[in-house]
Amino acid sequence: MSPDFLIALTMLTNFTLVATSRVNKAIQLAVFQGILMGLIPLAMGLGKHLHILLLALVAIALKGGFIPYLFRRALRQVKIRREVDPYVGYTVSLMLCAAGTGLSLVLAHALPLKAGTTPTFLVPAALATLFTGFLLLVSRRTALTQVVGYLVLENGIYLFGLLLVEEMPVLVETGILLDLFVGVFVMGIVINHIHMAFDSTDTGFLAELKD
Amino acid sequence: MAVLLILIPLLAAALAVFIKVPAIRVRVLPVTALLHLGLLLVVLRGWRDLPQGAWLGLDALGGWVLLVISVLFTICALYAPSYLALRPDRDHRVFTVCLLAFLGLASLLCLARHPGVAWVALETMTLTTAPLIYFNHNRHSVEATWKYLVLGSVGIALALLGTLFVAYAAHMGSLEEPLHYTRLMAEGERLSRPWLRAGFVLTLVGYGTKMGLAPLHSWKPDAYGETPGIVGALLAGGVTSCAFLALLRIYGVVSAAGEGAFARELFLGFGILSMAWALVFMVGQVDFKRLLAYSSVEHMGILVFGIGIGGLAARFALFHLAANALVKSVLFLSAGNIHRSYASKQLPQVTGAIRRTPVSAGLFFLGFLAITGLPPFAPFISEFNIASAALTLGHPILGTLFLLLLGGIFLTMSDTVMQVVFGVPSPQRVRTPYKDTFATTAPLVVAMVLALGLGLHLPAPLRAMLEAASLTIEGGPPARSGMVAEAPRDPAPTEVRP
């Protein structure tokens, strides 16, 4: 499979993610995108380095195995099926996502790439995915969908990291794995506490503190 | 030896996990803090001869920030046993462990000579401070913790992307690992400009979220409002200082590459915006802990404003880091005492605190005077010098605006503070057993005296360190940085070598 195909698939997943209202479908899409993240470096032919092969395998195991497990456990407890009444509607989200993707292409155009970089789509895809994650984080109410947003944001950074992973493996790999693993883990714990305190994980309830 | 600064607090944290007796566990805090401070004072003697390729080591800038954090932590650690004794119902183990881990990670950040290591330290610090915010285990604190985690994680993720952008800028200039700060600064010309600029914007937004610059500060009033005063003090003076340091390191690289003017404009914009935003939300603020949070937003604004003006103002911005941390510890800890005494942190319930808790309320009032810039306390020195540098270095409009905002903040803050301290006692007030004791007030007095002392006299070794630190952030050796002429009273201590 060519890396460009996988990158295009990642960007399509972005659009589907912002348009879906069902929480478990959003989780499935995030898992699918996570597995794509693991496949892209292999398709780019980076699998010849043992450490990148390991990174890809760990990414697939975490994003395709461990995180869905955490999500399924949380879903069983909180019994939420649908994102009700998001701050930004699905049609508007879709248009914003399209605008963000367009903007990413423009931005990436202004950033010169080192000669010989093969998948030139990597930078715009990274920025677009980052933007999608951000959009999900600010426009959704349930804590679970917000964590999905955080995962997608992380995927954006991961995609950019692939540009550097051959030259600066330590920086990229520790950064990405630490951020992902610990971030999601701690958020999972807090979601549990939100559930205990409010009997719901709608973060709309988390609005008692304001001026 | 310097590595011990990281290891001692982390080992103490591990030890605290296994100590079963609460009375002994809580004593680990002051012991570790004093040990850390003592060791730091020894290590700091060597800040001038930091080896080039070291991964960890204290230079003037990192040393200065760590000194501020270590002093702040010691004050809080001396206060902690008496505070925890007032809260026997809460989980002391997690609290103690997280506090100690915070100190270890702050040391790691200050010693880090590589942007990746600094990032890892700050990320881990975000996660270890989250349980501290959740100390009270109620609905409000879970809300504050969630906001802190989500916003903090997004900020830190953007900072990671910014760091990767800077690394790519180096990669474009055929500069490969290890990308230590010193190396990035020395080879500044080779960095790719578009990537460097984009990377700086991302790190500014990312670390700016952790600092709590407006408009990225929305976690701050909630987090500071819902945590114990002691955590508020550490967040306002410690975590924010750490994020500021991480940002300054990247700024140093940017200025060494000759893009300092671009970065300074952004700093000025964020600085003025933060001060103005804080002013607006301080008007009619009935919750005095949230008031302090907005004051923290304001002072983060002052810090980046000073860096944005540059030259003399940058040095006083670093001085302000210490002034702010010391006075904020007085304010947050005394506010915590008043909160304990009234079981409320809001205005109609809490008025006339000077009668019930005279020492805490008096310190709260003194802290308010100090933080708003009354001479001779330390914040006055920095605020005055930043303003005068702005007016003389070609920013007359911004300098005037800065002074106007300071004046406005003094007026709006005094409204709430005067009522809390001197107001007529409210009929709705609640009686609690809390009384000011030596243990809950003495650490605050020490902090206040230090803030006063720093305002009156800056010891020569500290002055030399500050000067070297301000040179570092403006891009390295003086020849390249375009520093303004020294004020004549300074006897050029940067030339002094042991």
Q: What is the 3-state secondary structure (H, E, C) of chain B?
A: CCCHHHHHHHHHHHHHHHCCCHHHHHHHHHHHHHHHHHHHHHHHHHCCCCCCCCCECCCHHHHHHHHHHHHHHHHHHHHHHHHHHHCCCCCHHHHHHHHHHHHHHHHHHHHECCHHHHHHHHHHHHHHHHHHHCCCCCHHHHHHHHHHHHHHHHHHHHHHHHHHHHHHHHHHCCCCCCCCHHHHHHCHHHCCHHHHHHHHHHHHHHHHHHHCCCCCCCHHHHHHHHCCHHHHHHHHHHHHHHHHHHHHHHHHHHHHCCCHHHHHHHHHHHHHHHHHHHHHHHCCCCEHHHHHHHHHHHHHHHHHHHHHHCCHHHHHHHHHHHHHHHHHHHHHHHHHHHHHHHCCCECCCCCCHHHHCHHHHHHHHHHHHHHCCCCCCHHHHHHHHHHHHHHHCCCHHHHHHHHHHHHHHHHHHHHHHHHHHHCCCCCCCCCCCCCCCHHHHHHHHHHHHHHHHHHHCCCHHHHHHHHHHHHHHCCCCHHHHCCCCCCCCCCCHHHCCC
CB nearest A209 (choices: B140, B154, B192) = B140
B167/A134 CB distance under 8 A: no
Q: Is the pLDDT of residue A9 over 90?
A: yes
Q: Where do the domains of chain B lie?
A: 270-457
For a pLDDT cut of 90, what percent of chain A falls above it? 30
Distance of residue B135 Cα from the nearest chain A Cα, in angstroms:
12
For residue A134, the chain B residues in CB contact (below 8 A) are 154
pLDDT at position B221, please?
Answer: 94
pTM score: 0.93
Q: What is the pLDDT of residue B482?
A: 37
- CB-nearest to B225 from A143, A160, A209 is A209
Q: How confident is the model at residue B488 (pLDDT cuts 50, 70, 90)?
A: very low
Q: Which of residues 217-256 of B touch A (CB under 8 A)?
A: 221-222, 225-226
pLDDT of residue B445: 97
Q: How confident is residue A135, by pLDDT bands cut at 50, 70 and 90?
A: very high
Query: What average pLDDT score do residues B219-244 get?
Result: 95
* B168 and A CB contact within 8 Å: yes
Reported confidence tier of residue B492, pLDDT bands at 50, 70, 90: very low
Which of chain A's residues have a Cβ under 8 Å away from the Cβ of B115?
171
Min CA distance, A58 vs chain B (Å)?
Answer: 19
**Looking at residue B481, what is its pLDDT?**
36
How do residues B283-316 score in pLDDT, each as one tens digit?
A: 989 999 999 999 999 999 999 999 999 989 999 9
Q: How many residue contacts between A and B have a Cβ separation below 8 Å?
A: 121
Q: What is the pLDDT of residue B290?
A: 95
Question: Mean pLDDT in chain B?
Answer: 91
| A139–chain B Cβ distance below 8 A for any pair | no
Q: What is the pLDDT of residues B414-460, one digit of tens each?
A: 999 999 999 998 888 888 889 899 999 999 999 999 999 999 999 99
B389 pLDDT higher than 90: yes
Q: How confident is the model at residue B146 (pLDDT cuts 50, 70, 90)?
A: confident
